[in-house]
Amino acid sequence: MAASPKRAGPSSPRSSKPRATSPTSAPRPLSPQERGSPVEAVSKLDVEAVRADFPILRRMIGDKPLAYLDSAATSQRPVQVTEAMRRFTEHSNANISRSVHTLGAEATEAYEGARAKVADFIGARSADEVVFTKNSTEAINLVAYAFQNASVKPGADPRFVLRPGDEVVVTEMEHHANLIPWQQLCERTGAKLRWIGITDVGRLDLEQVDEVINEHTKVVSFVHVANLLGTVNPTSQIVARAREVGALVGLDSSQAVPHIPVDVTELGVDFIAFTGHKMLGPTGIGALWAKAELLDAMPPFQTGGSMIETVSMERTTFAKAPAKFEAGTPPIAEAVGLAAAVDYLDKLGMENVRAHEKELAGYMLRRLETVDGLTVIGPRVPIGRGATVSFDLADVHPHDVGQVLDADGIAVRVGHHCAKPTCVRFGVTATTRASGYVYTTTDEIDRLVAALEKVRKVFA
C-alpha cells in the first residue's frame, strides 16, 4: 500500500507542542484530557508507512503473520531506534564525563542530548529536571526513598517527612510499581496508605477525592493511564485537591507518555515517572521528571561513582541533580535509543498518535462486543480510555486464551498485569489484555476476534 503524503508518517515534520506557562460511574463532564482534542476525530497516521519501519512485524509465527497486541507490556522498536543505537555502538562507544578523548566527548554529548530531547518532549523547563533511571519502577522508588530518608534524618526537608498520622494517597487501579513502594514506605514510617476507589465502569470514583485527600495527606501518587483498565484518568481535580491540602503530587505516566501528549508544566504536578521500552525505545532506561527545587532537596537514591562533588575518607558531598541520582556508568546506548524513539514519536505527532489509538479503541470495543461470553474489564466506550483493553472470556482461563491466540500468531498479555488489587475489585484473578499502538491495524483486531471465536469452540 502506497503511503499517502497527506498522512503523518515517521518522516513528517515535527508537530508543534505549545508550552503552558502555569502549572466514575455517574455522568459527569469529561476533562479535555479525557475527551481528547476536537481535531482528532480522524487519525492522520499512515499506519502502513509506520509498519514498514518495524521489521519484527514481518515475522511469521509458524505459518501465521505476527499480530502484536502486547504493546502495553513492551512496544516494538523501529529501525530508526535500533540504527541509532548501532551507530553509537560502532562509532562513539565510550564512557561519559571526564573524558578528553573524542569518543568520550561524543558519548557525553549523545547522552546529555538525549536528556534534552526527553525534557523537551514532556514540556520540562530544564533538561536538569530529567533523571535517567532503569525504568518507571526505579523512578518511583527514588521518590519514595526521599520520604523514607527524610523521615529518619534530623533537620530534613519537612515536605518529605512522614510521621504516624500522616497519609499517602494512591488509587485502586495502580500498577504494583506505584503501590508497593508506598506500602513499604508507610510500614517503615507509621504513615497510613489510603486510596481512591474505582467505579463499576472502571473509572476513578472522584466523589471520594475530597475525603481521601485531606489535611493529613503528604503525597498523592496516582496512575495517569491504567495499564489493566486502559482508563485515562482526569488529573486536574486530584492535583487541585492535593494543592489545597499542601501535598506533593506525582503521576505514574508509564502508559501515558507513549500514547498521549504530556506536558508536565500543564499538568501542574511535582513528579512523573515513565519508561523507554513502552514508547518505542529500548529496555533498561526510564526517567523521573521532578521540579528542580524538589530534586535539589532530595537525597541520592544510590551512591558511588559519577555522582559526587568531593570525596575524602571522612565524608562525601554530592553533585547537583540530575547527576547525583545517576550513580555509576549509565545506560548510554539506551539513552541514545530513547532519544531516537522521542524523535520518531515527535515526527508522527502525539495528537496523531492519540487519534489513531482512539479509533483503535473504539473499533476493538465494538468488535469484542460480538464475542459471546466476553466481558470487557474497564470502560466500554472509547472516551477517556486508551487502546488497551482487558477482558474475561467466560469459562476459559486467560492462559488458555493466550495459547490459542499465539497459535494464530496473535500476541496478547495474560495474567494480573501487576495490578492485582484491580483484578480483585472486578472479581477476576486474571484477564486477557490486548493493547495497540502506532503500528496496530483494524485487520489485526479482526484477527483477534476471529481467534477468540475459535477459543470458544475449542473450550465449548
- CATH code, domain carrying 394: 3.90.1150.10
- State the total domains in the chain: 2
State the catalytic residues.
418
Q: Are residues 324 and 371 in the same domain?
A: no
Residues 84 and 229 in one domain: yes
Q: Are residues 301 and 380 in the same domain?
A: no
199 with 340, same domain: the answer is yes
Cell numbers standing for residue 127: 533538561
Residue-wise pLDDT tens digits, 321-380: 999 999 999 999 999 999 999 999 999 999 999 999 999 999 999 999 999 999 999 999
Domain boundary among 309, 327, 347: 347
The parent domain of residue 150 ranges over 80-347
- pLDDT for 449: 99
Asked whether residue 294 falls in the same domain as residue 432, the answer is no
Read off the pLDDT of residues 407-416 as tens digits, 9 standing for 90 and up. 999 999 999 9
- Are 299 and 201 in the same domain? yes
Domain contains 278: yes
CA distances from 162 to 110, 145, 150, 219 (A): 39, 11, 8, 10
167 and 126 housed in the same domain: yes
How many CA atoms, within 13 angstroms, populate the side-chain half-sphere of residue 443? 6
**Does a structural domain hold residue 359?**
yes
CB 434 within 8 A of CB 448: yes
Contact 71, 278 (CB under 8 A): yes
Q: Let me know if residue 13 belongs to a domain.
A: no
Is residue 42 situated within a structural domain?
no
Task: Count other C-beta atoms under 10 Å from residue 271's C-beta.
Answer: 27
pLDDT digit string (tens) for 110-156? 999 999 999 999 999 999 999 999 999 999 999 999 999 988 888 88
Q: Helices (DSSP H) in 177-283: which residue ranges?
A: 180-189, 209-212, 236-244, 264-267
At which of 323, 347, 371 does a domain end?
A: 347
Overall average pLDDT of the 423-432 stretch? 98
- The reply to whether 382 and 297 lie within a common domain is no
Q: Does the model's pTM come out above 0.85?
A: yes
Q: Is residue 27 part of a domain?
A: no
Domain boundary (347, 363, 388) is at 347
Angle at which helix 102-121 crosses helix 79-91, to 10 degrees, equals 150
C-beta separation of 458 from 412 below 8 A: no
pLDDT of 172-228, one tens digit each?
A: 999 999 999 999 999 999 999 999 999 999 999 999 999 999 999 999 999 999 999
- Which stretches of 122-203 are DSSP H helices? 136-152, 180-189
Can you give the CATH number for the domain in which 250 is found? Answer: 3.40.640.10
- 35: in domain: no
Q: What's the whole-number average pLDDT of the chain?
A: 92
Residue 233 has pLDDT above 60, yes or no: yes
Q: What is the pLDDT of residue 201?
A: 98
Q: Could you tell me if 173 and 252 lie in one domain?
A: yes
pLDDT of residue 404: 97
Residues 284 and 373 placed together within one structural domain of the fold: no
Looking at residue 10, its pLDDT comes to: 52
User: Is residue 196 situated within a structural domain?
Assistant: yes
Note whether residue 41 is domain-resident. Answer: no
94 and 238 share one domain: yes
Q: Count, in order, helices (H) and strands (E) of the chain.
A: 15, 17
Does residue 37 surpass a pLDDT of 90? no
For residues 309 and 221, state if they share a domain.
yes
